[in-house]
Amino acid sequence: MLSTFLKILFRLGLDSGFMRTHYDIEGAEARARFAGTTALFAAAVSGLGFCLFWLFSPAVTRAIFDDTEGAQTLWVRLVAADLFASSFAFVPLGLLRIEEKAARFSVYALARNLANTVLKVVFLQQGFGVTGVLVADAAASALLSFGLFFELRTRARLAFDRAPLLEALRFGLPKVPHGILAQTLNLFDRRILASFVPRSEVGLYAMGGNFASAMKFPLSAFEPAWQPFVYDQAKKKEGAREIGRAATRMALVFTALATLLALLLPDALRLVIRRSEFHPAAAVVPVLVLATLFQGYFFLSSVGISIAKQARYYPIITASATALNIGLDLWLIPVYGIAAAAWATVAGYALMALMGEHFSRRLFPLPFEARRVAALLLTGVAFCLAGAGLGTSLPAIAARVFMGALFCAGTFRLALDASDRAELLMVISRSERANDRT
């Protein structure tokens, strides 16, 4: 959790601000100077943050662990070191996204994860425990940044252009409270649960959340390509129409995937976790998948805010959603337990999606076909309710697998029109070719 919040603070929203401002700069030389400026400023800010956390790590440790003895102070310092090392990576990774170098982007991401995993296994086998895990994180981030330095060197110039940097910060800084509030929405329900239900139920909720997080994979895979596409299209005459069509298509695809996962993941949990006392966690999995789907809708529907460079609306949206989520948690968790926490999360993300669409429509109207998406969503909910009523027998599991496949096939044939299908198949073909090259 400390790492999650520190990453938001260390970045100052520059990862978003760099991407957005880059598309407003004309000329290769000016863009190269902006990349160098952003990289230097990000390194300076992260370096300052690292030094401060190193100096005040005993106080931070005392606040988190109520202890300043032993390894905990080192843990805090290692978290700060990891974030400092990774601060050198987001500019070159952003440039690879802008240049649509998907294969190379994937190679760096996979190499970082592979190095991290290997180092963790080695350190854990040697008995270094949590300290070894955190050293592996920092080392993998340092290796990634070292490799990406050569990408940055060919694309950036040593410079300090104040005007575009300030423009990037104006866009990025509102993303700091937005990010903190979004993480609060993600995590605070566990703290409230711990006050009203046994710790075992908190564990069940966390386990359900781990399985439901499978829905985040397609969102994470899509995100690196989405922003460059949006900012590039926004400058074109028919850009709004193309962005709206792409957002509608992806919302339909996400809905189909969410329905499939909501049908299958509860059975996967029961099959993987054989001990029956853990099986009640399966009940919250489809609800949390729905919450993540609404998070995806927000990601798609709110792009007009970024295009119009009105990032101040983001913290307004997340503050409203977080307040609703916490209010529902405090009201309903004492009565309904983990089910209330799951549905409160759905309510928070649904409000984010609605508010994001509302502000986006005012700032940069897009022809997003919300009725099409809503019709498919309601159909998916009906499928999930019907599947949940079948029980947990082997024939019921087989029936849910069939229902999920049927829903996805029906989405492809009925919810998507001919142009949607052609575009989707072309994107899949491009992805397969990129994977082959990788």
Q: What is the pLDDT of residues 286-325, one digit of tens each?
A: 999 999 999 999 999 899 999 988 989 999 999 999 999 9
Please tell me the chain's helix, strand, coil percentages from 3-state DSSP, rounded to the nearest 5: 85, 0, 15
Average pLDDT over every residue of 218-228: 83
Instruction: Give helix then strand counts, H and E, for the chain.
Output: 20, 0
Residue type at position 6? L
pLDDT at 315: 94
Cα–Cα distance for residue pair 291/346, rounded to 1 Å: 4
Taking only the tens place, the pLDDT of each residue in 53-76 is: 888 888 888 887 766 566 788 888
pLDDT(382) > 80: yes
Statement: residue 185 has pLDDT above 60: yes
**Average pLDDT value for the chain:** 88
Burial category of 50 from C-beta neighbours within 10 Å (exposed 0-12, middle 13-18, buried 19 and up): buried
Q: What is the pLDDT of residue 436?
A: 54
Rounded-to-integer distance, Cα 302 and Cα 308, Å: 11
Band (pLDDT 50/70/90 cuts) for residue 433 is low
- List, for residues 390-400, the tens digit of each pLDDT value: 988 999 999 99
| Mean pLDDT of all residues in 277-293 | 94
* Res 284 pLDDT > 90: yes
Sorting pLDDT into bands at 50, 70 and 90, what band is 438?
very low
pLDDT tier at 135, thresholds 50, 70, 90: very high
The separation between CA 267 and the C-alpha centre of its own chain, rounded to angstroms, equals: 25
E-strand stretches of 76-185: none
Query: Mind listing the pLDDT tens digit for each residue in 334-352?
Result: 999 999 999 999 999 999 9
Q: Annotate 239-249 with b (16+ C-beta within 10 A) or e (fewer).
A: bbebbbbbbbb
Who contacts 424 (Cβ-Cβ below 8 Å, separation ≥6)?
Answer: 249, 253, 412, 416
225 burial type by CB count under 10 A (0-12 exposed, 13-18 middle, 19+ buried) = middle
As a whole number, mean pLDDT of residues 371-390 equals 93
Q: Is the pLDDT of residue 208 over 90?
A: yes
Reply yes or no on whether the pLDDT at 205 is more than 80.
Answer: yes
Q: Which pLDDT value is given to residue 343?
A: 96
pLDDT above 70 as % of the chain:
95
Q: How far is the C-alpha of 160 from the C-alpha of 156, rounded, in Å?
A: 11
Q: State the CB neighbour count (10 A cutoff) for residue 25.
A: 18
Q: Identify the pLDDT of residue 285.
A: 95
Question: What are the DSSP E strand ranges found in 26-156?
Answer: none
